[in-house]
């Protein structure tokens, strides 16, 4: 069978695809719980996600998620009855994947906010995988400082341990923290996740399958613990232009902070700084997208495909 083209909007096999218009119809009667002020707090830099986008794209997604969540609870209860186990319910885990600068953070933060507002008020936690990047000194030792964001730049074992601990119901599981300001892991700082009902794990590589070991066996990957996953998708040229626009905005804002690792880009000429950003895309983030991130797209439960103006044009769902 010829591989399915995601550009043409076809539907085939175990997937169903809905145009933006059809998708929006699926949650027509769902009440909107977010206001403009909350949305502006959740939006990433240069991300124009509107309240209309929340109503037409994210509410249907949360309705679908609530079906998965309910079924997950039923399955969990019945299998535990069968096994005569009396363990507390463990969290429902959602992965959010996609390129650098595609808007994953906005999607993940929106999901956190909308799911927390469900009638049963679940406790929702969000963790980004950048905390599991190796510190710069370790990346340097591994000759991988120019590979930040590639699968090998993460402490995958620690990330897997973190997700497994949370998923198995352990209290107070902690994760390291990354700072865009210092461009490094923050020493002596951890965030703590305490038995949430829902855990959202957001990052470039969260849909990667497990690696094969030298002896030919495969281990586990974080994606093995996902109960639902979302891939935020767009044309690579659009994502590159969003990355460059964001870099230009960061030059005017965050990079001006005297403590910013990127301070020198606020000080050099715009042409020079933008030439650097273009090179970062062409040598790091672009190749990582094409070689590692995009190939995991088909593994997601839901794909949100954005157009050049950031609006989601169509949604693809795995039927099974």
Ligand X SMILES: CC(C)(COP(=O)(O)O)[C@@H](O)C(=O)NCCC(=O)O
Residue ranges of the annotated binding site for ATP are: 98-105
Return the residue of 27, 204, 222, 315 that touches ligand X, per CB under 6 A: 204
Pairing of strands 198-202, 184-193: unpaired
Residue whose CB is less far from ligand ADP, 100 or 199: 100
Q: For residues 274 and 209, what is the distance between their CA atoms, to the nearest angstrom?
A: 34
Residue 280 contact, options ligand X, ligand ADP, none, Cβ 5-8 Å cut-off depending on partner type? ligand X
Residue 254 contact, options ligand ADP, ligand X, none, Cβ 5-8 Å cut-off depending on partner type? ligand ADP
Strand order in the sheet with 312-318: 15-19, 312-318, 302-306, 228-233, 92-98, 198-202, 124-128
Q: For residues 179 and 85, what is the distance between their CA atoms, to the nearest angstrom?
A: 41
Nearest to 18 by CA among 234, 216, 303: 303
Residue 49 contact, options ligand ADP, ligand X, none, Cβ 5-8 Å cut-off depending on partner type? none
Residue whose CB is less far from ligand X, 24 or 100: 100
244 binds ligand X (CB under 6 A): no
Please, what is the minimum distance in Å from the beta carbon of residue 166 to ligand ADP? 21
Using CB under 6 A as the binding criterion, the count of chain residues that bind ligand X stands at: 12
Return the residue of 27, 59, 100, 163 that touches ligand X, per CB under 6 A: 100
- Alpha-helix residue ranges (DSSP H) falling in the chain: 20-25, 36-42, 51-53, 59-82, 104-116, 136-141, 156-167, 236-252, 263-267, 270-280, 286-288
Nearest to 127 by CA among 99, 91, 101: 91
Please, what is the minimum distance in Å from the beta carbon of residue 148 to ligand X? 4
Nearest to 96 by CA among 294, 231, 221, 197: 231
Query: Which residues are at the interface with ligand ADP (CB under 6 A)?
Result: 44-45, 98, 100-105, 180, 250, 254, 262
Contact 8, 309 (CB under 8 A): no
Distance, CA of 23 to chain centre: 21
Return the residue of 130, 155, 197, 227 that touches ligand X, per CB under 6 A: 130
Nearest to 121 by CA among 45, 69, 181, 81: 69
Q: Which helix (H) or strand (E) holds 303?
A: strand 302-306
61 binds ligand X (CB under 6 A): no
Return the residue of 107, 128, 223, 260 that touches ligand X, per CB under 6 A: 128
Q: Which helix (H) or strand (E) holds 173?
A: strand 173-179
For residues 251-290, which are near ligand X according to CB under 6 A? 280, 284-285
- Write the binding mask 138 to 157 for ligand X: x where contact by CB under 6 A, - elsewhere: ----------xx--------
Residue 129 contact, options ligand ADP, ligand X, none, Cβ 5-8 Å cut-off depending on partner type? ligand X
129 binds ligand X (CB under 6 A): yes
Helix (H) and strand (E) counts in the chain: 11, 9
Residue whose CB is less far from ligand X, 90 or 128: 128
Residue 229 contact, options ligand X, ligand ADP, none, Cβ 5-8 Å cut-off depending on partner type? none
- Write the binding mask 152 to 181 for ligand X: x where contact by CB under 6 A, - elsewhere: --------------------------x---
Q: Which spans of this chain sit near ligand X (rule: CB under 6 A)? A: 100, 128-130, 148-149, 178, 203-204, 280, 284-285
């Amino acid at each position: 069978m010829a591989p399915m083209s995601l550009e043409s909007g076809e539907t085939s096999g175990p997937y169903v695809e809905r145009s933006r218009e059809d998708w929006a119809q699926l949650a027509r009667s769902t009440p909107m719980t977010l206001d403009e002020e909350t949305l502006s707090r959740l939006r990433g830099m240069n991300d124009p996600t509107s309240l209309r986008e929340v109503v037409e794209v994210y509410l249907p997604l949360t309705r679908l998620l609530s079906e998965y969540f309910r079924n997950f609870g039923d399955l969990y209860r019945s299998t535990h009855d069968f096994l005569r186990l009396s363990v507390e319910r463990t969290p429902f885990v959602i992965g959010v994947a996609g390129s650098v600068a595609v808007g994953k953070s906005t999607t993940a933060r929106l999901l956190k906010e909308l799911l927390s507002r469900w009638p049963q008020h679940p406790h929702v936690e969000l963790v980004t995988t950048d905390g599991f990047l190796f510190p710069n000194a370790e990346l340097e030792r591994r000759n991988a400082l120019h590979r930040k964001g590639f699968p090998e730049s993460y402490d995958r074992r620690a990330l897997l341990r973190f997700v497994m601990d949370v998923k198995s119901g352990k209290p107070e599981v902690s994760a390291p923290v990354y700072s865009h300001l210092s461009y490094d892991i923050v020493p002596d700082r951890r965030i703590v996740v305490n038995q949430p009902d829902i855990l959202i794990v957001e990052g470039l590589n969260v849909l990667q399958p497990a690696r094969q070991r030298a002896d030919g066996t495969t281990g586990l990957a974080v994606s093995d613990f996902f109960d639902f996953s979302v891939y935020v998708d767009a044309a690579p040229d659009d994502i590159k232009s969003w990355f460059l626009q964001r870099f230009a905005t960061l030059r005017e804002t965050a990079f001006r902070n005297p403590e910013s690792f990127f301070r020198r880009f606020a000080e050099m000429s715009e042409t020079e700084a933008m030439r650097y950003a273009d090179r970062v895309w062409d040598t790091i983030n672009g190749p990582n997208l094409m070689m590692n991130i995009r190939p995991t797209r088909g593994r997601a439960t839901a794909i949100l495909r954005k157009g050049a103006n950031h609006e989601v044009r169509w949604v693809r769902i795995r039927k099974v």
